[in-house]
């Protein structure tokens, strides 16, 4: 790793001391609080400032903010910016994450739904025509990129549409933290405000995420995060976010994943980290067999098992998965996903 790890270096160079401060476990170590030497996330001047500046540079943002409360707090922060700018509505795909609906409900933002079709139980990204229709009745567009099934919307044409309409583009990249290496697929190359769910596809601790802004939204986002982040941020999570954003690209595993998908009849998608195997009505048996052999998928939606990779996945692990998949019969995939099967999403009509 060429980049400095500001937060981790500070944590490892701490002197032992007597803790008359939180946290109550009193085991001063990596899990410390904001002290005179460890900086303060609310108004960073030291290692947190340096880490956030490096992250913004890597992600191509004017400003980036470390989140220890998951992408959820990033989605709330982005949508709060719209509200604070006087916007009243946002166009968002039907299969947006619950945090989108919850934030809009909390801020009184009207959601104009962008139609999304499903094919063999998989939500497809909205078409340009569907987005155009919804955006005509809304003040902004929010996309999910990539989605849980590894599909990426037509970011270039959708962002051109937003620019032509003079409306901001927000991207929920909860599943796309690893995409900053491939700029043409990365939310930050197109969006005004975007979230990177670092903990899902990069080696960060659970809940580690980043929310970023382009120039004209940077100040508003700074005000927003103050409202939706915890006032007791976890240093292990913050250090892991910095580590993960600076984690080097692993092209060998990216290529191995794409080869694996072709070899094992996986669903074609746009994201190497999402390996989607169509087991159809044999999903449950396949999952049980794999788990009995120590292999756990991300989800089973009744049609597919999703295996979620990251730059930390090893070739040996993929090989083991392949060996097991060879022994497992595939079932019939239903044309329509069973009601409520699509994970984490709530369909709004």
Ligand X SMILES: Cc1ncc(COP(=O)(O)O)c(C=O)c1O
Binding interface with ligand X (CB under 6 A): 70-72, 75, 97, 99, 144, 148, 172, 174-175, 197, 209, 344
Q: Token match 């001391």: residue?
A: 17
Q: Which is nearer to ligand X, 204 or 325 (CB)?
A: 204
Rounded to 10 deg, the angle between the 251-263 and 315-326 helix axes is: 10
Q: Which is nearer to ligand X, 298 or 317 (CB)?
A: 298
Residue 171 β-bridge partners: 143, 194
Q: What is the Cα–Cα distance from 242 to 64, expressed in whole angstroms?
A: 11
Q: Which is nearer to ligand X, 137 or 348 (CB)?
A: 348
Could you tell me the smallest distance in angstroms from the CB atom of residue 322 to ligand X?
26
Output the furthest CA–CA distance in the chain (Å, rounded): 62
Residue 213 β-bridge partners: 63, 193
DSSP codes of every residue in 212-279: EE-HHHHHHHHHHHHHHS-SS--HHHHHHHHHHHTPPP-HHHHHHHHHHHHHTTPPP-S-TTEEEEE-
Could you tell me the smallest distance in angstroms from the CB atom of residue 205 to ligand X?
11
Q: Which is nearer to ligand X, 35 or 154 (CB)?
A: 154
* Complete edge-to-edge strand list for the sheet that includes strand 141-144: 63-67, 209-213, 193-196, 169-173, 141-144, 89-93, 110-114
Could you tell me the smallest distance in angstroms from the CB atom of residue 172 to ligand X?
5
Could you tell me the smallest distance in angstroms from the CB atom of residue 197 to ligand X?
5
Q: Would you give the DSSP letter of residue 301?
A: -
Q: Which is nearer to ligand X, 10 or 229 (CB)?
A: 229
| Beta-carbon contacts of residue 173 (< 8 Å; ≥ 6 apart) | 71, 144, 145, 146, 179, 186, 187, 188, 194, 195, 196, 197
Q: Which is nearer to ligand X, 71 or 273 (CB)?
A: 71
Residue 90 β-bridge partners: 111
Q: Which is nearer to ligand X, 344 or 348 (CB)?
A: 344
Could you tell me the smallest distance in angstroms from the CB atom of residue 177 to ligand X?
10
The two three-digit tokens of residue 257, written as one number = 């994943």
Closest residue to ligand X: CB criterion: 70
Q: Which is nearer to ligand X, 99 or 287 (CB)?
A: 99
Residues in the chain: 349
Could you tell me the smallest distance in angstroms from the CB atom of residue 148 to ligand X?
5
Q: Report in angstroms the alpha-carbon separations of 140 from 50, 87, 158, 165, 187.
A: 32, 8, 11, 9, 15
Q: Which is nearer to ligand X, 187 or 267 (CB)?
A: 187
Could you tell me the smallest distance in angstroms from the CB atom of residue 141 to ligand X?
15
Could you tell me the smallest distance in angstroms from the CB atom of residue 36 to ligand X?
31
Burial class for 108, CB neighbours closer than 10 Å (0-12, 13-18, 19+): exposed
Could you tell me the smallest distance in angstroms from the CB atom of residue 219 to ligand X?
24
The two three-digit tokens of residue 170, written as one number = 């927000």
């Amino acid at each position: 790793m060429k980049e400095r790890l500001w937060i981790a270096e500070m944590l490892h160079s701490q002197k032992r001391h007597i803790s008359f401060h939180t946290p109550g476990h009193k085991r001063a170590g990596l899990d410390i609080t904001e002290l005179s030497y460890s900086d303060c996330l609310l108004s960073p001047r030291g290692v947190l400032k340096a880490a956030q500046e490096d992250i913004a540079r890597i992600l191509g943002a004017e400003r980036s903010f470390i989140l220890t409360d998951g992408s959820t707090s990033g989605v709330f922060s982005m949508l709060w910016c719209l509200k604070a700018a006087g916007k009243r509505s946002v166009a968002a795909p039907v299969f947006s994450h619950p945090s989108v609906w919850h934030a809009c409900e909390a801020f009184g933002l009207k959601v104009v739904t962008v139609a999304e079709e499903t094919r063999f139980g998989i939500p497809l990204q909205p078409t340009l025509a569907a987005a155009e229709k919804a955006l005509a009745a809304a003040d902004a567009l929010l996309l999910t990129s990539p989605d849980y099934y590894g599909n990426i919307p037509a970011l270039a044409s959708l962002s051109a549409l937003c620019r032509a309409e003079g409306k901001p583009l927000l991207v929920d990249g909860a599943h796309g933290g690893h995409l900053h290496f491939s700029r043409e697929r990365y939310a930050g190359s197109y969006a005004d405000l975007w979230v990177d769910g670092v903990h899902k596809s990069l080696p960060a601790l659970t809940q580690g995420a980043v929310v970023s802004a382009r120039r004209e939204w940077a100040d508003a986002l700074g005000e927003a995060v103050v409202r939706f982040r915890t006032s007791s941020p976890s240093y292990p999570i913050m250090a892991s976010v910095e580590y993960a954003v600076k984690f080097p690209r692993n092209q060998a595993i990216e290529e191995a994943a794409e080869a694996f998908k072709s070899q094992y009849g996986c669903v074609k998608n746009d994201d190497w980290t999402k390996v989607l195997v169509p087991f159809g009505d044999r999903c449950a048996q396949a999952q049980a067999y794999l788990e009995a052999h120590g292999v756990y998928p991300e989800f089973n939606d009744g049609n597919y098992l999703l295996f979620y990779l990251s730059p930390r996945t090893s070739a040996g692990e993929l090989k083991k998965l392949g060996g097991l998949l060879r022994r497992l019969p595939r079932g019939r995939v239903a044309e329509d996903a069973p009601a409520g099967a699509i994970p984490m999403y709530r369909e709004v009509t």
